[in-house]
Structures are given as C-alpha cells and as structure tokens.
Amino acid sequence: MWLKPEEVLLKNALKLWVTETSNDYFVLQRRRGYGEGGGGLTGLLVGTLDTVLDSTAKVAPFRILHQTPDSQVYWSIACGATKEEISQHWDWLQQNIMRTLSVFDSSEDITSFVQGKIRGLIAEEGKVSLVLEDDPEKFREALLRFEKWFGLPEKEKLVTYYSCSYWRGRVPCQGWLYLSTNFLSFYSYLLGAEVKFIISWDEIWKLEKTSSVILAESIHVAARGEDHYFSMFLHLHETFLLMEQLADYAIKRLFDKETFQGDPALSDPLQITKRGLETRARNEQFRAFFRLPREENLLEVYESFLWVPFSHFNTLGKICVSENYLCFASQDGSQCYVIIPIREVVGVEKPDSSSRAVTVCVRGKRALRFSEVRDYERLASGIRRRCGVMASPQHVASGEVSGEVCHALIEHFEDNPEEVTLMVGQKSTSKAVSTEALMTVFHPQDAENLDPKMLKEKMKEQSWNIHFAEYGRGMSMFRTKKTRDLIVRGVPEALRGELWLLFSGAVNDMATHPGYYSELVEKSLGTSTLATDEIERDLHRSLPEHPAFQSDTGISALRRVLTAYAYRNPKIGYCQAMNILTSVLLLYANEEEAFWLLVAVCERMLPDYFNRRIIGALVDQAVFEELIRDQLSQLTEHMTDMTFFSSVSLSWFLTLFISVLPIESAVNVVDCFFYDGIKAILQLGLAVLDYNMEHLLSCRDDAEAVTILNKFFDSVTNKDSPLPPTVQQASMGNNDKTSHPKVDIIDLIREAYEKYGDIRSEEVESMRRRNKLYVIQTLEDTTKQNVLRVVSQEMKFSAAHLDDLYALFKRQHFLSCYWMINSPVLLHHDPSLPYLEQYQLGHQQFRTLFSLLAPWAHCVSHDALSLWAFRLLDENQDGLVNFKEFCCGLDILFSGSFTEKLKFLFKLHLPPVSSPDVPEDGVIRKSPERGRGKVDLQAYLKQWQDELLKKEESIKDLPRINQHQFIQFSKTLYNLFHGDPEEESLYRAVARVTSLLLRMEEVGRRLQEPSSPPSAPLEQTSAGKETPTAPSNSGDSPSPPAAPDATPAPQEVEWSFAFEQILASLLNEPVIVHFFEKPVDIQAKLDHARSAQLKARATQ
C-alpha cells in the first residue's frame, strides 16, 4: 500500500527494522520479529509495541523508504503485509521511477518528484468514501489493519476506530476497537497473547455506559450470552453515541427491513461515515426538540441573546437554523424557546453593528431581537435569502427593510387575513371532508350559559388570551414555564384543537402540504385492503358512548382519517388503538387537522408504537419499569415480578390513558402529552402508582392490584369540565362500590409534575435507546422459540441442533442484507406474514448455507444440486425458502432412511425442479409479490388446511423418470461419490445398476412391441448403452452413462424408469446403501458452518 510520504528518523528505527535491499534512492526494510527468523522474544516485544502504538507495521511488516545520496532524511512511501506485495511496489519503482531520477540536478527536486508521484498513486487508488473522513491518510492505514486482522468481506465499511482497553476478568488488554457498518470488532496483542473477536450489531442485547470501583467509566456490551467491557477511551461519550447509532441502524435495517430511502446518510450501507452519523444524530435531536417535520436539517448554529419582552431581560441561548425554520432555545435555565417558521417572517431589519443584533419581524405585530450574534450579518442574509425563496407576491422580506416597513407589512397582513392564508399555503379542503371539530357540532358552547363550570371555562380562556397577548400566538409564540403551568391547569375546550396542532408540530406539516389530505381521501376511497377491513371492524368500537360516534357524521370522518393514513403509510397501515386516539382527535380538530395530528403521533412522538409488534410501546414500558425501580423502590421490593407493570400499563401507553380514564379527564392527559411528549405519560403513570402505593403494597396477587387500579381510574373526575352528562363517561355504577375518594385529574397531573417533573426528555430518549435493544432481542427470542416448537414436531433434529440451525439460518438471512441495498428478502418482506416466514433466504444465500451444511459438500456439481434443492424446497414457489422448508431438506439428508434420501435425489431431477426454462436467477415464481394489496385470508386458511391434511407421499405417487432425466440422475450419483474413500467401488456399483436398468427396460420394451423388426443383439445394445468402467483416481469427473443415439428412429419409443425400479436395483449394492446410510456428524457440520459462514461470504 502506498503511503503519504512522511519523514522517518532512521537512527532510532534501526533497532526495529532490518534492511532487505537498497539502492541510491530507495530502501526496502523488514520489521524485526517478522518473516525469516521472526518470533521469539523479539517478535513478542515488537508485536506488542506495534499493537499498543497503533503501528501499521503490525499488519504490514515491510516498508520502502526514499532517500537521496547527499541527505540524511528518509521518507516512508510504501508498506506491505507480505514480501510479495512489497516486492511489487519495489519493482514498480525500479521500472518507472529510477530511470527518471537521473535527469534531476538537486536532491530537493528528486524528493519533490517522488513525493508527487506517490501522492498521485494514492489519489488514483483511494476509495471514494475516504474523501469523507476527517483524516484520510490515517483512516487508510486503519482500514488496512482492519481488513488484515478480521478478514471480513471487502464491502464491509469501516466507520471509525478507537484506542481502548478490553477487560478479560480483572485484566485489561490494551487494543483497538473498530466500528463498522455491521460489526463491532476488537484486536489486542500483548506479549504473545492475541485477543480478537467480532460481534454483529444485530446480536447485541445490551449497550450501556457503566461505572464501578475498578472501572471509572466503561461501555458494557452484552451479546451471545457474554459480557464485554471497554474502557479508557479518549472520547467515551462520542464512542458510545456512535455505537448506539450503529446498533439502532442494524435493528431498523435488519429486523424492521427499513430502507432509509429518504435518508442519504444511511441509505447505502457501503457509504456510511462517522461524519454522516454525527450529522444525522444532530438533525434528529434538533427535530425532536422543536417538533419539526422529518425534512428539516440543522444547517447553522449561533450563540446569542434573545430579548424577552414580558420579562424585560435578555436570555442566553442558541439560534438553530434549518431550511424552513429559525429556532431559539435558552441555556440559562429559563426554559424559554421559540420556533419561527420562515413562512411567517415578514421582514428582517438592518443589522445593528454596535450590538451585533438582528431583528426579525413576524406576523402578529411582533419582532424578535437577537443580540451579540458573532456572525450577525451572515445570519441576517441567510434569513433574507430563505424568505426570498418562499416569498409570496406580497412577501418583500428578501431584501433589507427598515423597521417601519416591517410594521407596515404586519399591519397589512392583519387587515388582510385571506393573504395570510395564501402565504401559509392552506387550500380549501374537499367538500366531502368535514371542516369542523365534532365537539362543536355535537356540543356547541352556549355563550349565555353562566353556570359555575362555564364561568371557570371562560376564565381559562381569558388566562390563555392574556398569555397570547404577552407571549405571542401561533408558531412563533414564546414557550416558557408559564406555558406549561397553563397546560397543567387544563386547556379550554375552545382552544384545545389549536394548541394540540401547535405543540405537536402538526401545524407545520399541514401548512407545507396544502390539499394533501383531500387528495389522499380521494385516492383511498373504495380501496380494499387488510387495513380497511380492520378499520371497518373497529369503527363502532371507538368511543361508542359519545354521541359523535353514534351518528354517521362521526363514523364517516373517522373512517376517512384512518383510511387516508393507512394509504399514506402502508408500513403501519392500521393498528388497534389508532381508532381510539383518532376519535378523540376528531372531537377537537377537523378532519385534516386530526389527520396531521395522527401523523405527528405515529411517526414522530410515538415511533414504532402502531405496528404489528408494538415495539415502541414495549420499549416505553421497559423505560417505565426502570423509572419505577428508581423512583418507587418500595413498590419494586414488594412486587418481585416487574412484568405486572408491563401488562397493566400497556393500554396506558397505547391510548394515552384514553381507554382507562373518562373522556373528560383523558383529554387533559392528551394536553400534557402534546406539550411534553412521552415524558408526560411516564410521569402520570408514576403518580398513579404512587397515589395507590399503600393499597398496592397490601395486595396478595396481581388480580387484586389490577382491581385497585381500575377502581382508582373510575374515581378520577374532571370537576371543571363543561361537557354535559351525555358526553361525559360516567363511572358506570361503580361510584357506590369504589373504595377510592374522587380524584380530580388536574390535581393528579399537578402532583405528577411536582414529584416527577425533574425527569428530563433527554434521559427518557437515552433510556429508550438502551432498552430498545433488549426488547427487540426478547421478541426475537420469543419468535425463535415459536418457530422451533413448530419445526421440532416434524423433524428428527435435537433441540440443540435446531437452535444452532436457526442461528445459522438467521445469520445467513442477515448476511444477505448486510451489503446489498436491494436484497430479495428486503424486496419481498411482508411484516403481516406469520413468524415462520419472517426470515427467508433467496437462492444465492441458500446455496452458500446449503453447501456448508449438506453432507455431500465435496460434490463436484454442488451448485446445480443446491439450485435444484432450492426449487424443490420452495413449496409455494415465491423465490424464497423459510426455515421450516430448509430444515425439511437437511432433515432428510442428515437423518433420513436410504429410501427417503434416494427419493429426495430422484425428485431433484423431475420437472420443473430440474427444468432449464426458468428466469435468469434460476428461481421459479408462481406466487404474486408479497405485501401488495389485500391479503387473501382464505388462501392462507386453505394452505393451512392442506398442510394439516397432507398425507405421507408414497413412492408410487412419483412420476417416471425419462431418458434425459435418468442420465442426469446417474451423473449426480457419480458426482456425489467424488472424494469418498470407497469412490472406486461406488463407481462400479453405479455402473452395474445403470447397465441392469437399461437391460430391463430394453427387455420390457421388446415384450410390449412383438411386431417390431429385430434389432441388434441384446448384448450389443446394452453394451452400447452401458456406463464405462469407473475411471482411475486421477481426479477427473467420471463419465456418465452413454446416452442413446441423439436422433433415434421415429418408431423408437423413449424409455423411462419408475422410482421403484431404481430403488430395487440400488438396494442390491451394499456399498451404495452403506454410503447413504452412513451417519453424519451433525454437530461437526454445524461447527464448521458457524466458523466458515462469514468467510464464505467474504470469498464470494
């Protein structure tokens, strides 16, 4: 490998390097302890030194130096892992450089010429991905060591590497940790003790930062039942975040089959870089904090002060700029932040150079002043440029405008609200779509009603109007502690829909996608899928006691919203609990607003909640359990089984307490959720358990605890709710039976914030990431147990062997996804399929694994055999083989009787399995692509019934094999015996059987055709068709039986054989019977496949 020329102090290096050859300008050296005479104490010491100091000499112990006769300075220009590699570099220098150097007059010119040539070579052979690395030269050398040490496929992309210590018990091993797209790898070499291992990201159960008495701070990785601890990082936090990202990337890509089409940093697993991952993490954190659409990316960050008019002081914080938003978050503990959509900016005043200030004017007669901005001119010009891109005809903010012009624009938009609507991008919705919230239709507020509850409601509205006057209204309002206090006290019915849209960020999606919902409604109208069937089934189960959903108005609106979302996001489609949540959203928002609120909940605020495995809810339950252990230790000591909290709280998370609380109380919980996210739900859950602590501690079993919590939820009321009794959910006759006094929801929420409000959103997100790995792996383990239970009933494999087979099959499935963007298993993935078909192999992956495990691996024609076996085992002919189908084939080859194995081989040569008329990839497909349109449940039921009624196939049911197929069958038998100790005897036995079968067929045909003219004598005929004697052990493939004349006479009938004839003939040859009945060491095969699986992929 050519190296960037670096100066070398040869005087100090002489003790570690030995000169092999040299000339006037170049020196070829070998590292001491390597090559001839290597090893011994010198090899141990030098190897240890190279590993600890991260020297390239550890994997490249040969190097070439450049020198000039009149200079004492040497330059390293090349290194090599072997003598052959470095010799190629040396020969190239002799042939291409040496002749040219004689024309130069000075040493400086010679050195400059050589260095320029070497840099040119590096630039030509350098990989494109290295351009994106911070230090391409060092990364290039690290990549060399990574490839040499671990032997992974060339496509495996190294992301970064760190120096660290790995703890083996209490002994640290100093070495290097390499993080690549699919693997975590470690290498250490200390005094002859080499430590090297590779862990796939998809095998990790736990990834966390820990600390102990011995290890001040370390990273704990749990995988394959083993614990690994790494410490002494220079940048431990950075390392841990990258490891989290790579593990999460593997989870999403391999388990969830995510393709990351809209994410350039992750769309190609061969081009992932450290810089790209760090940028992506920063963008995700930015979007999550400010609740921005997925398209937004953090472009610029400025430190500044923001003038807060209601407090009359400047708050220190950071300005974050994206394509369409200008955001500010304080850093002085005031918890003040502002989100300014560029679409709402009407002007930017001239920057004030004295205070380095920028004033931004927005709709609503408001201006925000940022001061002490270091690069204030760049910020101002950037805002003006973005405003110009989004400007409407009335939008003149693209140039510098004075304060008077800003205020004039504000007044213009205040007086012409219809132009504001045009600027925001709203379009009139379809006439078929309801434009009113259901609550305004079924419970319009009476302005003249002056009962105490309505008066209190009016007071709440007045408090919010005062807040709007001071802090602003709409997206650009100031959000502070006071805003949260108002949320906790309860949102007025009239403002609830507006504030939900605002705090969830759904208002941004709706503003930037005008008319999108109406188009979805029209496109999805009349579609029939599994999702629409489930929606129809659940429509009348959504708040059935509410008048809005006892009428066609509410039901139709709910149907349209759910169907439109299922059409937008087929990956989620429809999941139970979405109907309950959407019905509540429709009460306070019109259809389009409810749709975008649903998008915000499903795709941003509660990721992975609404899918087949509800992974997001299970992860948050694990976070909840962790918080219970930290905050309510007394309860965890009493409740030894923490799964109780998971089972009882699942509905809390899936429905945001809507399913357990009366609707008038549940909406207050939803208020807090849209402002604080999942943190609000976790806090309330802790408060509920804390409130019932004494009763729960006295429980004798889980059923009693569930009863207590149900009674408590029945007792929760909202004494300030202005809703009439027909709308409220009364506690249905439980008032007399409950042992709990009435609990007001506002008091409960306030207590939750007072006791558990110190839980930070950043901590919750960190806990989510940490627990997600464990939840995913637990689900995977459950899936494995289900698959093995089904498969073990029909196989002869032991439980341990099946477990190992499943691990190999799953790993082969993942290997097909590691380095391929469009893997067949990704293209055909359908999460609605049963667990047995979640992991499947395409033909190429099947061929690799089948070749590693099949007992006839030495077979010359194993590629053709694997292809025929793939077609035979692919029962539904969808181009994929699942684990059960794969095991069926191996079970026959490993544990089947002689008849079963022979029947398997026989069927491999029957059409269409052995037919050459197949697609280019060799796979026959009859089934339609999965995951498209409506799932045919009747077809699944029929397939299941056929499997139950399927009887044992009789040998009499097999069709006869024709002339061409029999010849191919004979060839296969010859190839199977290649390399066997009894090869010669087996060849002769097959020759005898083939000759006998041909004689029998000839005799049978003559008996059937007595009137046919006499042909050649039987001996000559059979001799012409008899297989030649087995060849000597020369290594050449044996010749198959000679085929009959290619152009037979028209009256000649083509001969064929039945399976019974072949079986009877082969049973007369003990050597063949012994070959097939010879026991196979299954464990040895599994161990070999486990060690060679990754290497087999690397050599492809």
**678-723 per-position pLDDT tens digit:** 999 999 999 999 999 998 888 888 888 889 999 999 999 988 887 7
Q: Looking at the predicted structure, is the pLDDT value of residue 792 above 60?
A: yes
Q: Looking at the predicted structure, is the pLDDT value of residue 1073 above 60?
A: yes
- Give burial (CB, 10 Å; 0-12/13-18/19+) of 800: exposed
Where is average pLDDT lowest: 189-193, 616-620, 840-844, 846-850?
189-193
Looking at the DSSP bridge assignments, the partners of residue 222 are 206, 227
Q: Looking at the predicted structure, is the pLDDT value of residue 1011 above 60?
A: no
In this prediction, residue 825 has a pLDDT band, given cuts at 50, 70 and 90, of: low
Between residues 260 and 668, the one the model is more confident about: 668
pLDDT for residue 106: 82
DSSP letter at 176 equals E
Average pLDDT, the chain: 80
pLDDT for residue 672: 96
* Mean pLDDT calculated for residue range 785-804: 90
Identify whether the C-beta of residue 101 lies closer than 8 Å to the C-beta of residue 25: yes
Identify whether the C-beta of residue 890 lies closer than 8 Å to the C-beta of residue 1046: no
* Mean pLDDT calculated for residue range 748-768: 92
Between residues 363 and 214, the one the model is more confident about: 363
Q: Looking at the predicted structure, is the pLDDT value of residue 246 above 80?
A: yes
Q: How far apart are CA 873 and CA 861, in angstroms?
A: 18
pLDDT for residue 432: 60
Tokens at residue 881, please? 């083989």
In this prediction, residue 441 has a pLDDT band, given cuts at 50, 70 and 90, of: confident
pLDDT for residue 744: 93
Q: How far apart are CA 862 and CA 979, in angstroms?
A: 13
pLDDT for residue 927: 44
Omega into 855 within 30° of 0, i.e. cis?
no
Identify whether the C-beta of residue 175 lies closer than 8 Å to the C-beta of residue 150: no
For every residue of 908-950, DSSP letters joined together read HTSTTTT-S-S-TTS--B-SPPTTSS---HHHHHHHHHHHHHP
pLDDT for residue 623: 94
Task: Count CB neighbours of 399 within 10 A.
Answer: 11
DSSP letter at 1035 equals S
pLDDT for residue 85: 81
> Strand 17-22 to strand 26-31: parallel, antiparallel, or no bridges (unpaired)?
antiparallel
- Percent of the chain at pLDDT above 70? 78
In this prediction, residue 401 has a pLDDT band, given cuts at 50, 70 and 90, of: very low
In this prediction, residue 53 has a pLDDT band, given cuts at 50, 70 and 90, of: low
Backbone angles phi, psi at 1057, to 5 degrees: -130, 145
Q: Residue 549 is inside which H or E element, if any?
A: none
pLDDT for residue 131: 43
Rounded-to-10 torsion of CA 977, 979, 984, 988: 20
Tokens at residue 553, please? 């108005």
Looking at the DSSP bridge assignments, the partners of residue 338 are 328
Identify whether the C-beta of residue 615 lies closer than 8 Å to the C-beta of residue 775: yes
Where is average pLDDT lowest: 119-128, 386-395, 697-706, 948-957?
386-395
pLDDT for residue 1038: 43
HSE, CB side, 13 Å, CA atoms: give it for residue 955: 17
In this prediction, residue 395 has a pLDDT band, given cuts at 50, 70 and 90, of: very low
In this prediction, residue 831 has a pLDDT band, given cuts at 50, 70 and 90, of: low
Q: How far apart are CA 333 and CA 1047, in angstroms?
A: 94
Tokens at residue 773, please? 């790995």
Where is average pLDDT lowest: 380-394, 748-762, 894-908?
380-394
Task: Count CB neighbours of 288 within 10 A.
Answer: 17
Q: Looking at the predicted structure, is the pLDDT value of residue 959 above 80?
A: yes
Residue owning tokens 């993942």: 814
Q: Please, which residues have CB within 8 angstroms of residue 93's CB and are 6 or more apart in sequence?
A: 26, 64
Rounded-to-10 torsion of CA 805, 810, 816, 817: -170
Identify whether the C-beta of residue 362 lies closer than 8 Å to the C-beta of residue 328: no
Q: How far apart are CA 942 and CA 939, in angstroms?
A: 5
Where is average pLDDT lowest: 84-98, 486-500, 767-781?
84-98
* CA neighbor of 483 nearest in space, from 663, 683, 681, 753: 753
Q: Looking at the predicted structure, is the pLDDT value of residue 448 above 80?
A: no
Looking at the DSSP bridge assignments, the partners of residue 337 are 329, 479
pLDDT for residue 917: 53
The sheet carrying 358-362 orders its strands as 337-341, 325-330, 313-321, 300-308, 366-371, 358-362, 345-348
* 1021-1061 pLDDT tens trace: 333 333 443 343 334 444 444 444 444 444 455 678 888 88
The helix/strand/coil state of 869 is helix
Q: How far apart are CA 169 and CA 183, in angstroms?
A: 23
Q: Looking at the predicted structure, is the pLDDT value of residue 739 above 80?
A: no
Between residues 735 and 433, the one the model is more confident about: 433
Between residues 878 and 488, the one the model is more confident about: 488
pLDDT for residue 720: 81
Q: How do the residues of the chain divide into helix, strand and coil, expressed in percent and rounded to 5?
A: 50, 15, 35
How far apart are the two ends of the chain, measured CA to CA in Å?
23
In this prediction, residue 82 has a pLDDT band, given cuts at 50, 70 and 90, of: confident
> Strand 716-717 to strand 743-744: parallel, antiparallel, or no bridges (unpaired)?
parallel
Q: How far apart are CA 963 and CA 1055, in angstroms?
A: 6
Q: How far apart are CA 598 and CA 581, in angstroms?
A: 8
> Strand 300-308 to strand 226-231: parallel, antiparallel, or no bridges (unpaired)?
unpaired
Q: Residue 805 is inside which H or E element, if any?
A: helix 799-818
Residue owning tokens 């090349």: 78
Residue owning tokens 């089959």: 257
